[in-house]
Structures are given as structure tokens and as C-alpha cells.
Amino acid sequence: MPIVVQKYGGSSVADVEKIRKVAQRVKAKREAGYQVVVVVSAMGDTTDDLLSLAKQVSPDPPRRELDMLLTCGERISMALLSMALQELEVPAISFTGSQSGIITNDTHSQARIVEVRPYRVFEELDRGKVVIVAGYQGVSYKKEVTTLGRGGSDTTAVALAAALEAEACEIYSDVDGIFSADPRVVPDARKLESLTYDEMQELASAGAKVLNAQAVEFAKAKGIVILARTAHGQGTGTAVQELAGPADTRVKGVTAEQEMAVLSAASERVRLPELLEFLDARGVRGRALSFDGLLGREPRAYIAVPLQDVHGLEAVQKDLATRFGDDVSLQEQVGTVTCVGAGINADWGYLSRALLAAEELGARVHAVHTSPLQLSLLVDKAYLKPLTARLHREFLGT
């Protein structure tokens, strides 16, 4: 029998009634002739609630202990879904990330999966059971419980799908697929029928919340088709896969990243390798690095830092001041608006139009980052939503 991996996000398992509906959907998939592995996120806002609880105890909780705490949320979901399936007379068993063989590096809060050993998953599937796995978590080679960062349940699902050689990985949420922009910002955003792995990875890394960037990386490496669908109803969703034929050169999507900060360092007084090692030791990842020092200005390095997985920002800022003094500053009033599409930087056309659109809105562009698939503008946070809507209208016509 073919294997399908399904992943249900926090909104899909937010309460007991929704968990029962998920159980019905899983049962139907099994009755359609599939072996089913289900990956679940924590219920609703459980992870945020646990993080808030931790910060009431400590403004900068130790990351090891934070991982021990935050992984409780997914364990609750997996056990409840297993109970709901058994109430429907569907044999089921729940596993933590470590029990299902998710092996990670030893970076707490932002671990990366390095290997999947799904021996117990295969055993239970062979016994006719639905296997429910707690997403977002794994175990390191040092036997430490780790978490994969926000959106990590997607990564769990796709990594398992690859290891199990599944037919597909179905990612369920409260929206029917992937849209050309956040519908809450751009009401006329279009649902995309398909995306390439590269396009989806660029959107995810630039702030689109619907899929995790590392999950797409796993899918691409193993050729796993990702189907992003709604957990409510029977929508067709969006397929993420390698498409045959020439690349579609249109802009596919526009997304914004608000949880962003920019580190500014005086290049002549701060050794950049030393600063990067400092950030790495604290799990602070950078999305883009640029330099400014032309025409007699003081040379400075700028590092764009997504804050989504940064725990203890105040402690990081304090350590920066202690280590580097005034030579390094951190600014939080900026964010990025990113357009994604094949060939977007084949000429200056898209960049020129994007800069003109920002100028018309009165938005100062602090920096520009480009790649073969991505055009990203760094602007003040006040302009993120209007610029997203403006560029969507400019490049997608709505």
C-alpha cells in the first residue's frame, strides 16, 4: 500500500472538535487504500502560551530547557488525535520526534534534521496502524531533545515523507493552498495552482508563513510532491513540485517580513568573522549581508536578521553592547518586501518598477537584495503592507 504523510497545523487541531474532524479525514484516507502517517503541530496558540510562561520565569530562558518545555505542545496533540482515531475504531499510535527517528544537530531552538531513522514508524504501519508523530521536534546525537524552529512541523512531515518514500506529503492548514500574497494584506491575492521548489523556498525564506523553507529543501532533494490544502472542505490546494518545461518568468508572489532587525557594524573597527561567530554562538541567523563604504563614507556592514527564532533579544542586545560597544547597533524598525519569480533580475525592469512604486508611496528603500528568483526591498515597517499591496498590483495586476 502506498504511504501518504499528512501534516495538520495548530489551527486544524485547535480544539477537541477539530481534532475529531481531523481523525475523520485521516480515517477516510486510510479507507481509500493508503498507509497514513500524520504529523501534528501544537493546539492553537499553545506554543506561544508556553513561550510566554517561560518568559515569566526568565527573560532569557536557557534554550535546552525551552526545548523541553515547548515540545510538550505537540505531544498533547499527538496523544489526543490517537485517542480520537481509536474512538473511530482506527488502530493508531503516537510517537514523539525522537521515537519516530528524527535525528538533528545539537542546536537548541533552531535544530536542523540530519537523518531520519523511521524504523518504528515502518513497524507500526506494517501492523496496520496510523502513526501520529509530534512535529517540530527531534533528538540530537547527544540524546538531547531539540526543536526545529517555527514552522518546523512542516520539516518533520517532509523529512518523514522522504525517508518513508511516501507518495506525497499533504500540508493542511486553514487556507486552501498558497496565495500570491497574504490575503489579509491583499484581498485580491490569487491562489496558485503550482509552484516550483525554488519559488516556494524563496517565498518561505522571505516571510511567507504557509510552508517552512527547510521543509521545501527536503522535498526538493528527494522529489517529494508537497500538496498544500485546507483542512476544511475539499479545495484543490497548491502543488509544490519540479515542473517540466521552461520556467515561468512571471512574478509568482509578493510577501513581507516584519519580524526583522538590521545589525549595523563599523567594518574598520569590528572584525566581521568575530561578529559572525558571536551571532552563530547565540543562534542568530542572517538573511542577507551587505556593505556600504563608497565615496568616502565610513565602511559599514549590514546584516538582515529574521527575529522569528531569536529567543532573548534583549540579552543579545546587551551582549552586543558589552562585546562591541557603539561599533555595532541593532535596529528593529525595518522589514522586507520580497517579490519572487524566475528571471526577476534578468534585466533592470522589475527593480526599476519596484523602486518607483516605493518612491510613489514615500517609502525610503534602505537596501536591496537580489537573486535569480528574488527581489527584496528593505523599508520602514510602516510601509510593509502598503508596499506589498502596491507591488502585487504592479506585477500581478491586482
Residue 9 marked in a binding site: yes
Mean pLDDT of the chain: 90
pLDDT at 157 over 60: yes
Weakest-pLDDT range from 73-87, 246-260, 335-349: 246-260
- Look up the domain containing 56 and give its range: 3-173
Single residue among 173, 207, 235 that ends a domain in this structure: 173
265 and 150 within one domain: no
- Within a domain: 378: yes
Strand order from edge to edge, sheet including 260-266:
288-292, 300-306, 260-266, 328-331
162 and 36 within one domain: yes
Residue 7 marked in a binding site: yes
The H-assigned helical ranges of the chain are: 16-31, 46-57, 63-87, 119-126, 152-163, 197-205, 213-222, 272-281, 313-324, 349-361, 384-396
Supply the pLDDT for residue 140: 96
CATH (domain of 373) = 3.30.2130.10
Single residue among 144, 173, 202 that ends a domain in this structure: 173
32 and 163 within one domain: yes
Single residue among 157, 173, 189 that ends a domain in this structure: 173
Residue 274 marked in a binding site: no
- 267/116: higher pLDDT: 116
In a 13 Å sphere around the CA of 348, the CA atoms on its Cβ side amount to 3
- Within a domain: 231: no
- Within a domain: 311: yes
Residue 210 marked in a binding site: yes
- Within a domain: 98: yes
141 and 17 within one domain: yes
Residue 116 marked in a binding site: no
CATH (domain of 8) = 3.40.1160.10
The tally of domains found in the chain comes to 2
- Within a domain: 213: no
128 and 13 within one domain: yes
How far, in whole angstroms, is CA 245 from its chain's centroid? 28
- Burial label for 60, CB within 10 Å (0-12, 13-18, 19+), is middle
**Dist CA 392 CA 186 (whole Å):** 8
**Dist CA 359 CA 263 (whole Å):** 24
Q: How many CB atoms lie within 10 A of CB 231?
A: 22
168 and 56 within one domain: yes
Cβ proximity of 169 and 157 under 8 Å: yes
Integer distance in angstroms from the first to the last C-alpha of the chain?
Answer: 44
272 and 160 within one domain: no
In the chain, % of residues over pLDDT 70: 96
Residue 300 marked in a binding site: no
- Within a domain: 205: no
- Within a domain: 276: yes
Q: State pLDDT tens for residues 124-136.
A: 999 999 999 999 9
261 and 166 within one domain: no
153 and 58 within one domain: yes
Q: State pLDDT tens for residues 362-385.
A: 999 988 888 889 999 989 999 999
283 and 158 within one domain: no
Residue 33 marked in a binding site: no
- This prediction has a pTM of 0.86
- Within a domain: 242: no
Task: Tell me which range, 120-129, 226-235, 256-265, is most confidently predicted by mean pLDDT.
Answer: 120-129
